[in-house]
Amino acid sequence: MGGKKSNKIREFLRKFKTVRTWQLAVVLVPLAFLAATLLRFEHLRMTELRAAVLVADEAGDLEALEENLARLQDYTFSHMVINVTESNGVQEVTFGTGPFYLEYSYQRAAEAAIRAAEESLTDDSNPNGNIYQIVTNICRAEGVNSGWNAYLECWTRELEKFPAAEELGSTTIAASIPSTELYRKNYASPIWAPTVTGWVVLICLILFAIIVVRLGIWLVLTISLIFLDK
């Protein structure tokens, strides 16, 4: 059996050697288009799963949130997900979901922590109504535009304007609110995965490498002949 397999491989290599470089290029073009299309589909699927996570986060459905996070993580870890992320105005290509935040889960946890801190200090009723909702509405835009550290600073600054929260102080509030990193997610995908997309991409890379090597050899031989003719 081993001899038959090796003979078949040798026969394939002999036939492959007769294939012209331009023929390889003709095969590479549609394969590259197919690879780009498949990569696009995997990116869109990741985006769809990530959107489902954010919807569950906004709805406060913890069970759905955990399920969607697990589904997003499993998909990202087993597929080639190419993504373009932006950091400080600079765009870069990454493999994975890119960083995203469970905004509403963080807000609910922060509000609960602040309420608990206030209740531990005073039992007086708040004449200003739901100050936490007021602060959330004020600081939401700042958090979206400048990040969650700015959101926390805004929350602390605005909350201290209300008499009922004066006793807490910025140190107590900051200590009570959970870290934003607990609600920051960023799943990385492998550079190559054994999926249909992965195999098509691999074939494209192999064909491209063969074409480059052949062109390199042709270029070296051409230059050598020029010098030899002189």
DSSP string of 96-122, one letter each residue = B---EE-HHHHHHHHHHHHHHHHHHH-
The pTM score is 0.69
Same domain for 151 and 212? Answer: no
Segment 69-85 mean pLDDT = 93
Residue 111 belongs to a domain: yes
Same domain for 41 and 142? Answer: no
Same domain for 123 and 171? Answer: yes
Alpha-carbon distance of 189 to 72, in angstroms, equals: 11
Residue 14 belongs to a domain: no
Q: Work out the mean pLDDT of the chain and round it to a whole number.
A: 79
Range of the domain at 110: 103-183
How many domains are there within the chain?
Answer: 2
Half-sphere exposure of 191 (CA within 13 A, CB side): 1
Does 164 score more than 60 pLDDT? no
User: In whole angstroms, what separates CA 224 from the centre of its chain?
Assistant: 48
Query: What percent of the chain has a predicted confidence (pLDDT) above 90?
Result: 35
Residue 131 belongs to a domain: yes
Rg of the chain over Cα atoms, rounded to whole angstroms, equals: 29
Residue 9 belongs to a domain: no
Residue 3 belongs to a domain: no
**In this predicted model, which residue has the larger pLDDT, 184 or 157?**
184
Same domain for 107 and 42? Answer: no
Range name among 105-109, 138-142, 166-170, 187-191 with the lowest pLDDT average: 166-170
Residue 19 belongs to a domain: no
Same domain for 85 and 122? Answer: no
Tokens of 158: 């605005």
pLDDT of residue 163: 58
Residue 10 belongs to a domain: no
Highest mean pLDDT among 4-13, 135-144, 179-188 belongs to 179-188
Same domain for 40 and 86? Answer: yes
Alpha-carbon distance of 178 to 155, in angstroms, equals: 13
Same domain for 199 and 92? Answer: yes
Same domain for 45 and 157? Answer: no
Does 173 score more than 60 pLDDT? no
Same domain for 163 and 191? Answer: no
pLDDT of residue 108: 85
Tokens of 119: 């209740």
Same domain for 176 and 193? Answer: no
**In this predicted model, which residue has the larger pLDDT, 200 or 222?**
200
Residue 16 belongs to a domain: no
Does 121 score more than 50 pLDDT? no
Tokens of 132: 């936490």
**In this predicted model, which residue has the larger pLDDT, 117 or 157?**
157
Does 13 score more than 60 pLDDT? no
Decide: residue 83, CB within 10 A, 0-12 exposed, 13-18 middle, 19+ buried.
middle
Sign of CA dihedral 17, 23, 29, 35: negative
Same domain for 136 and 81? Answer: no
Closest CA relative to residue 128, chosen from 113, 116, 139, 118: 118
What's the pLDDT band for 195 if we cut at 50, 70, 90?
very high
Segment 103-123 mean pLDDT = 71
Same domain for 92 and 204? Answer: yes
Tokens of 229: 């003719």
